[in-house]
Structure 1
C-alpha cells in the first residue's frame, strides 16, 4: 500500500487549513492552468482589500502612542483595588460553636483589619455583622436562624435612618445551607465558607456596591491560612488558640464536618512555630493546638519531611482510609512546640482515640508544660453503636487505651464526648454507655442527643428511629452519671496543692478569682494578696495571666474551691510524680519518630 504524506496548505482565499495528500499523475499543463486561475482570483482579492474599510474605520478614535517608562519600581504590577478597602467601616462578630470557630473569627478579622476595617463590640455601631456558625447539630443551626430574624428586623430599621448594615454568615453553616440562606427570605448579604475567608473583602465590596448577595463556599484541598497571623480580640495575654490543621478524613457516620470543612490538610510546622513563638513574646501563658482530628497532624510540605514511616495508630483501632505515610507527625510537632517556652502551657483538641501511639503519651508524661489532660471522645459504650457510627474501635479497645494512658500518665485527667439516642440504639446499648462512664471516671464531659445531618452516612444508610423523648431521657441519665463520677474524681484532689493559671475575676462574685489547673478543672479562690513565691514574706496581688499555687479545699462536679498560697510558675513547680512509669530523657533518648524533629528544631533555631 502506498504511503500518503499529509501537509498543511493555507489558501489565499482565507479558507481553513486543509489536509491534502501528495498529488499523483498531474500533468504540467494542468498545473499551469490551475496556477493562472489562482493568480486571477488573487489579483481580484487584493483590489477588494485595498479599496475596502481599514481597521481605523472600526474604532471611535485614532490610536494614542504611549510613552515608554523605563524607570524601575518596587511597586506591584497590580495596584491595590480601592474598591476592596474597608474605609474604616465597623465590623461586629458573633461566634458560635467550637474553638475552631473562635480561631476562624481571628483569621477573618486579621484579613479584614488589613483592608482597613475596624472592629466594634457594639452592635448598634456596626456597618457589617458577621456570624461565625456551627452545623454540628440542628439546635445550633436553629439558634442562627432565630438570630438572623432578629438581625433582619434591625436591618430594616437601619434602612429608615439611612445607615444600612450588611449581614454575613461565615463557617460551616454557610457551606451546608448555602441555598437556604440565600433564598429563604433573603436574610443574608454575604456567605463565606470555612475556606473562603480570604475572599471576604471582595464579597463585602460586591454586596455593598451592587446591593446584591455575594457568596463563596468552595472547599479547598490546600487552604490552611498558614501565612495569616490571627488577630486576637481582647486576649489580655492569657490563652490563645493555634490552628494546626483543617478538615477531617474519618467520615464517622453521624458527622457533618468532612462535608462542611473538607479533607484533612496540615499547616506547615514552620508557620505554627512562628505563631507560638510570637504568642510567647506577647506574654500568652497557654496555647491550645486546634484541629478537627488534631493528633492526625502530618506535615509533608517539605521534601526532607517526606519519609517512609506510616501512621502509628492506637492498638486495636482502625480507619476507613489508607494509612498515611511520611512527613512530620503530631508527636514531632508537640515536641517542637513544647520547647519554645517552658513556662507556657500546651493543650490540644480535638483528638481521635485512634491517634494516641505510645510516643505521644510518653512525650506528654515527660514534658512539664504539656498539660496532663487528654480529651478522649468515646461517643458510645456499645460495640453495636460504635460500629454503626464507624468509629473504628470497640469498647474493649477504648478501655485498653484508657488503661495504657493511665499507666504512662498516672495523674492524667480525662474528658470525653457522648451521643445519646443514635440510630438503632437500644436500652441495653444505653446501659453499656452508662457503665463505660462509670468505669473510666471522666472529670469533664460534652454530652448531646443525636441530631441527624444531611449528607452524612447515617442520613443515607441508617434510620433515625429513637424518638426524641427517649433521646432526652437517655441524655439526662448520662449527664447524671457523668456528674456523679466527676464529683468523685474531683474529690480525690481535695487537700492537694494545684498550679492554677489565673483567668480573671469570677463571673459569680467580684470577690473571687477563677483559673484552671493542669487538668483543665476550674478553680475558684478569694481575691487577695499572696506571697511572691513559696516561703517568701513579701506579698503581691494576683493578676490574670499569672500562675498561683492553690490549696484545694472542696470539690464539686464542675469546679473546685480553694485558697491561693503564693505566686509561682511552671518552671519553679515540681514535676508531679509518675509512679510505675520510667521517664525518658527526651534530649538524649527521644522516642521513635522524634529524632527527625530534633534535627529540624536545631536547624530552625540556627536559622532564626
Structure 2
C-alpha cells in the first residue's frame, strides 16, 4: 500500500477522481469505498470526467443494455483522453471496475485500448498498487479469485482511513455473492459464492458511521437475508441478530436491508420486524414471476403460494409493512397465462413500489440457451401492462399516507427557499417547507398529499417517540382471487 505521506502535498491536491456508478446499491457502496482507498493518495472527487486524472466506471452486468452503455461511455472517454493528451492537459487513467470487468475483462481490453485497468468487484482495494504499475505497463486485469475477506480486511486498514460519508444515511455491505443460481442471473459468476462479513467488523463500521452523524444504514447483500456471519460471541449470527446488535448503537436510529430472497426470510427476521422499532417497515422481496411454471424454469426454488404465505406472515408481524419487488417479463417460454399469473400476484400482494424489466439474455446463463424466446414486441407490451398496474399501486400507496404523521429523516435541501427533503419509514421522499435547519434529524411530519414518487408534508409541534401505525385497508392478508377478477391477458399480435 502506498502511504499518503510518500506524496508531496502540492502533488496530492492536484489529483482528481471521477467515478461513474451503474446498477445496484452495492455498486454505490463499492464506489464510495474506491474513493476511500484512493483518498490517501491525494485523489479528491470531481463531478465531471473532463476535470479528472483518474476515471473509474463501476459497472453492472445484470442486463445487456447496461454492459453496452459501458462500452459507449468508454468510447467517449477515449476521445477525451486523447484530447487531454494532445492539449497538454496531462494524462488520464481509465479503469473499468465491477461485474462487467469481472465477466468481460479480456473483451474490454480488446475492444477499448484506452482502458488502463480492469478490476473485478473483489479487488478494488488493490487500486493504489495497480496505479503505480500502470506507469510501467498498461492492461492489467485483477479480481478473478473471489476473495471478499481480503478486500474487507484491507478496507479496515488504518492507512485507508475512515469512510468519506456525507449526510445522515449510508450503505453498509454485510454479505456478498449468491448460491441460488437463478437461470437468468450472472451474479454467482461475477460476485462468487455467498460470503458474510464478521459481525464485529460490521458493528465497528456502523459505530464509525454513527459517530459521523449517520442516522440510518441500509445493509447490502446480493442475498442479504442469507447473512450468516461469525458473531463476536463465537456463534453464527443471522441478519436478525445483526439488526439487534446494530440497534444498540447510540445515534443509529434506522436500519434497512436489501436485496432479500424469499427462501432466506427466517422466522427470527420476521419477528424482529415486530419487535425492533429501528427496523424500517419496508421490505424489498423480489419474486420475478407469478407463474409457478416460470419460477421452476428460473430455478427460484419457491412457488407463488409460498410467497403469498410469507407475505401474510410478514404483514401479521408488521401490519404497516410496505412491499417492494422485482419482476421479469418475457422470460423464455412465457405464455399469456404465465403473464396473467404475474398480474394476479401483483394485484393480490399490492406493492408500494416495484422494479420491472424485460428479460435480457446474459451469456453463460442457462436461460440464454433456452428455446421459445419471447418476441420483443410481445415482451414490451407485457411490460407496459405490468408497469401500468404497478404505477397505480404506487400512487395509491403514496396517496394513502395523506393525513398521517410520519417520522421523517431530513437528508438534503430542496430547490426552493427553505425547503428540505427527507425520507419516510417507507423510503418515500418527503418535501417539507421551512425545514432546512433540520438536516440529520428525525422529526414528525404531517403528510398533506401523496404524488407519483413522493410525499408533501408540514412540520408538526408534538414529538413522537415511536412509530407503529395500524394496517391500512390496502394491507390485508392475501386471499384467493376469482378467475373472473383477473386482468385480461395481453395477446401477442
- Give the TM-score normalised by the residue count of structure 1: 0.72
Matched, 1:285 2:215: yes
Cα separation, 1, equivalents of 2:43 and 2:400 = 50
8 Å CA contact retained: 1:226, 1:268 = no
Cα separation, 2, equivalents of 1:383 and 1:84 = 60
Matched, 1:512 2:419: yes
Cα separation, 2, equivalents of 1:481 and 1:412 = 20
Q: Gapped runs of 5+ residues in structure 2? A: 472-493
Q: Tell me by how many angstroms 1:450 deviates.
A: 0.6
Q: Tell me by how many angstroms 1:110 deviates.
A: 2.0
Q: Tell me by how many angstroms 1:116 deviates.
A: 3.9
Aligned pairs for 1:26-41 (under 5 A) are none
Q: Tell me by how many angstroms 1:123 deviates.
A: 2.5
Larger radius of gyration: 1
Structure 2 counterpart of 1:297: 227
Cα separation, 1, equivalents of 2:362 and 2:112 = 23
Matched, 1:194 2:121: yes
Q: Tell me by how many angstroms 1:354 deviates.
A: 1.2
Cα separation, 1, equivalents of 2:36 and 2:271 = 36
Matched, 1:375 2:281: no
Q: Tell me by how many angstroms 1:411 deviates.
A: 0.9
Number of residue pairs matched by the alignment:
462
Q: Tell me by how many angstroms 1:459 deviates.
A: 2.4
Cα separation, 1, equivalents of 2:136 and 2:32 = 26
Aligned pairs for 1:364-513 (under 5 A) are 364-460=273-369, 462-463=370-371, 465-506=373-414, 509=416, 512-513=419-420
Q: Tell me by how many angstroms 1:556 deviates.
A: 2.9
From 576, 583, 601, give the equivalent of 2:468: 576
Cα separation, 1, equivalents of 2:5 and 2:444 = 54
Structure 2 counterpart of 1:238: 168
Cα separation, 1, equivalents of 2:206 and 2:317 = 27
8 Å CA contact retained: 1:203, 1:215 = no
Matched, 1:356 2:265: yes
Cα separation, 1, equivalents of 2:298 and 2:417 = 45
8 Å CA contact retained: 1:221, 1:263 = no
Structure 2 counterpart of 1:184: 111
Cα separation, 2, equivalents of 1:236 and 1:566 = 28
From 85, 91, 96, give the equivalent of 1:159: 85
Q: Which moved more, 1:258-267 or 1:101-110?
A: 101-110
- RMSD between aligned alpha carbons? 2.5
Cα separation, 2, equivalents of 1:185 and 1:268 = 39
Structure 2 counterpart of 1:140: 66
Cα separation, 2, equivalents of 1:143 and 1:244 = 29
Cα separation, 2, equivalents of 1:215 and 1:566 = 57
Cα separation, 2, equivalents of 1:566 and 1:448 = 43
What's the secondary structure of 1:340's corresponding residue? coil
8 Å CA contact retained: 2:74, 2:112 = no
Cα separation, 2, equivalents of 1:348 and 1:125 = 35
Cα separation, 1, equivalents of 2:85 and 2:147 = 40
8 Å CA contact retained: 1:85, 1:117 = no
Matched, 1:104 2:30: yes
Cα separation, 2, equivalents of 1:567 and 1:208 = 61
Structure 2 counterpart of 1:26: none
Structure 2 counterpart of 1:543: 438
Q: Tell me by how many angstroms 1:221 deviates.
A: 4.4
8 Å CA contact retained: 1:109, 1:231 = no
Cα separation, 2, equivalents of 1:485 and 1:224 = 43
Q: Tell me by how many angstroms 1:457 deviates.
A: 2.2
Structure 2 counterpart of 1:605: none
- 436 and 506 in structure 1: CA distance in 2 versus 1, 3 angstrom threshold: farther
Cα separation, 1, equivalents of 2:150 and 2:347 = 39
Cα separation, 2, equivalents of 1:402 and 1:442 = 11
Give structure 1 regions of 4+ aligned residues with deviation exceeding 4 angstroms. Answer: 78-87, 229-233
What's the secondary structure of 1:292's corresponding residue? coil
What's the secondary structure of 1:548's corresponding residue? strand
Q: Gapped runs of 5+ residues in structure 1? A: 1-77, 306-326, 530-540, 580-608
What's the secondary structure of 1:485's corresponding residue? helix
- Give the TM-score normalised by the residue count of structure 2: 0.88
From 450, 454, 459, give the equivalent of 1:564: 459
8 Å CA contact retained: 1:522, 1:558 = yes
Structure 1 counterpart of 2:479: none
Q: Tell me by how many angstroms 1:339 deviates.
A: 1.4
- 349 and 464 in structure 1: CA distance in 2 versus 1, 3 angstrom threshold: farther
What's the secondary structure of 2:289's corresponding residue? coil
8 Å CA contact retained: 2:124, 2:151 = no
1:46-101 deviations in whole A, cap 9, x for unaligned?
Answer: xxxxxxxxxxxxxxxxxxxxxxxxxxxxxxxx997999999523222111111101
